[in-house]
Structure 1
Amino acid sequence: MAQKDGNLTLTPSKFRPKINACHPARGPLQEHALTSPHLDPARNTVAHFRQLHRAAMPLVLPNAWDAASARLFEHAGAAAIATTSAGLAWSLGHADGRALPVDEAVGAVARIARVLTVPLSVDIENGYSDDPKAVVELVQRLLDLGVMGINIEDGRDAPAILTAKIEAIRAFLHRTNADLFVNARTDVVLAGLAEPSERVEETIRRATLYSAAGADGLFVPGLREPTEIEDVALATRLPLNVMAWGGLPGAAALYKLGVRRLSAGSAIPQLVWGQAERAARGFLETGHSDPLSADAKPFAEVQQLFAASR
């Protein structure tokens, strides 16, 4: 990998023989529409969401954590909305890390889906269960809400556990004539599950397993070195999803490396809550009102975002 004058020059890679293409659809498909009162059916199909991963630039997702943030991000121009499991858990009073009760998660997703007109993808962590049947039951509930995609992770579990879950989801979708974009997340890099010299190979090994099981995409949070990004992208058929990180190249450069999806993760809620804490501390210390309105979005504009849902 070489970089000159801001332009990335791709160099030969030992992983180059594989192609970076999206998985073909498996079995007969049925599109699920959102329940929003102002939805655009043409923009709310799994086929459309899948096509967003084949565009001329990465699909950029500013992950939402509640209905308000989801609606705001769509208004800002997001072509699709994905949730952040950390932000969602925090907003409901739980720590991140598989601690969110399933019913609370589904309730939050229902509220988010109601206000959107673009595809919604939901981060379900590990499916909140090690039992593939329980994960399938959750998937069915999400499909009933109009969800178009999910992220499901291996975490520190053996790859065989996530493989079994993806296979169960794919079998259920085929059996019910339904469709869903299944984005398989591997935490090899983020959780340090392999030595630095071996993490690309281990990521690719898991990507191969998850692809064979029926995954539609590959999410590798923490992957940020250009050469490693390129190697993973070239070695898998799945569209590669990376997560925003300090020092990560911009979307155009990432696309040249093979990235097809870029997620903010929990960065935006962390930013918002950092700013909110500073504002609260300042108000508590001084009681001055002016700083509270300096960068505030006008009340009427926020209210208008939800006018159609009243």
Structure 2
Amino acid sequence: MSEDELKGRAAALLELHQPGNPVILPTVWDAWSARLAVDAGFAALTVGSHPVADSVGKPDNEGMTFDDVVARVGQITAAVDVPISVDIESGYAQTPVRLIEGLLSAGAVGLNIEDTVHSDGGRLRSSDEHAGLVAGLRAAADASGVHVVVNARTDLFLRQDGDEADRVDRAIARLRQAADAGADVLYPVGRHQPETLRRLTSELPLPVNAIGVPDQDDPASFGPLGVARVSFGPFFQAALAARGKEILARWA
């Protein structure tokens, strides 16, 4: 893919993020699931680490290598003609330059980066450290000439880190720091009550990514809460797996 094509896809992906009118980015894991989503009419996709890991028989939380991810992403971008964002977990202990170069070489124009460090015992990065990584990714993307869409994720809610009473405050502070470092989108990953999600979207300075359970949530519920992006994490694959088990059980 040429640099101009990558630039165009990156710009298109970023433009889709409109608070109150969220882009729905189905989370896929291979060429088949990507084609399924694009044929259904979706304009961009995310590639999820958990579904990809499941599809190749490896554990999530960086049980794959970054090269494994790049190879799979290349198969997906060869199969569909839409912008692709990739969950790169906590970075697979790679440098920002290596991460950006690998994603662009596979035709991806966006990334999620989380603050749990799987290569270092699963510890949580400090706010400064996470912001530093975001800044490194932004600098590497700028140097490449492509404005890769950086989605900065915090796992405070997922990990139930610290006191619940100030968890939202700490998440907002952490994500604001990531925004200042060059993120384009902010991802307080977790299943939130509407009032919590509304507070996050109103107090954070950039478009906010929420997670949706595709066979349970109401697609129309996210816009009024100010969400700009909805992705499915592992839940689309899980819903298909549940239906698959029902079909297979008739024949077992």
TM over 0.5: yes
Q: Distance in 2 between matches of 1:194 and 1:76?
A: 41
Amino acid at match of 2:238: Q
Q: Residue type of the partner of 1:262?
A: V
CA contact (8 A) 1:32 1:143 kept: no
How far the C-alpha of 1:223 sits from its partner, in A, is: 4.0
Q: Are residue 150 (structure 1) and residue 111 (structure 2) matched?
A: yes
Unaligned runs of 5+ in 1: 1-29, 35-40, 285-310
1:77, CA displacement in angstroms? 0.9
Return the offset for 1:125.
0.6
Give the aligned partner of residue 218 of structure 1. Answer: 186
Determine helix, strand or coil for the equivalent of 1:139.
Answer: helix
Q: Tell me which protein shows more helix as a share of its residues.
A: 2
Structure 1 length-normalised TM: 0.73
**Cα deviations across residues 168-203 of structure 1 (Å, max 9, x unaligned)?**
111122223221000011111111013222111011
The Cα shift of 1:78 comes to 0.9
Provide the rounded CA distance (Å) in 2 between the counterparts of 1:178 and 1:208: 23
Which structure 2 residues correspond to residues 166-185 of structure 1 after superposition, within 5 A?
166-185=134-153
Q: Aligned Cα RMSD in Å?
A: 2.2
2:119 matched to which residue of 1?
none
Q: Distance in 2 between matches of 1:239 and 1:194?
A: 25
Q: Structure 2 vs 1, CA of residues 204 and 31 (structure 1 numbering), >3 Å: closer, same or farther?
A: farther
Native 8 Å contact 2:19 2:227 kept in 1: no
How do residues 280-295 of structure 1 correspond to structure 2 at under 5 angstroms?
Answer: 280-284=248-252
Q: How far, CA to CA, are the matches of 1:182 and 1:230 in structure 2? A: 22
**Residue 254 of structure 1, CA deviation:** 1.9
1:191 counterpart letter in structure 2: R
Distance, in Å, in 1 between the alignment partners of 2:188 and 2:199 is 12
The amino acid that maps onto 1:184 is A
Preserved CA contact (<8 Å) 2:19 2:226:
no
How far residue 119 of structure 1 moved from its aligned partner, in angstroms, is: 0.7
Q: Structure 1 counterpart of 2:199, which letter?
A: D
**Structure 1 equivalent of residue 98 of structure 2:** 137
2:76 maps to which residue? Answer: 112
The alpha-carbon distance between structure 1 residues 241 and 31, as it changes in their structure 2 partners (threshold 3 A), is farther
Which moved further from structure 2: 141-150 or 109-118?
A: 141-150
* Identical amino acids, percent of aligned pairs: 32
Does residue 260 in structure 1 map to residue 222 in structure 2?
Answer: no
Q: Compute the TM-score of the two structures, normalised by the length of structure 2.
A: 0.89
Checking the alignment, whether the CA contact within 8 Å between 2:22 and 2:228 is kept in structure 1 is yes
Deviation of residue 98 (structure 1)?
1.5
CA gap 1:106/1:198 in 2 versus in 1, 3 angstroms: same
Matches within 5 A, 1:290-309: none
**Once the two structures are superposed, what CA deviation does each residue of 1:17-37 show, in whole Å capped at 9, x if it has no partner?**
xxxxxxxxxxxxx96526xxx
Aligned CA distance change for structure 1 residues 247 and 193 (closer, same or farther; 3 Å): farther
CA separation of 1:148 and 1:176: change in aligned 2, threshold 3 A? closer
The match for 1:88 is 52
The one-letter code matched in structure 1 to 2:48 is T
> Taking structure 1 as reference, are residues 246 and 148 closer, same or farther at Cα in structure 2, changes over 3 Å only?
closer
Distance 2:169 2:98 in 1: 33
List gaps (5 residues or longer) in structure 2: 117-123
CA distance in 1, matches of 2:195, 2:214: 16
The corresponding residue for 1:69 is 33
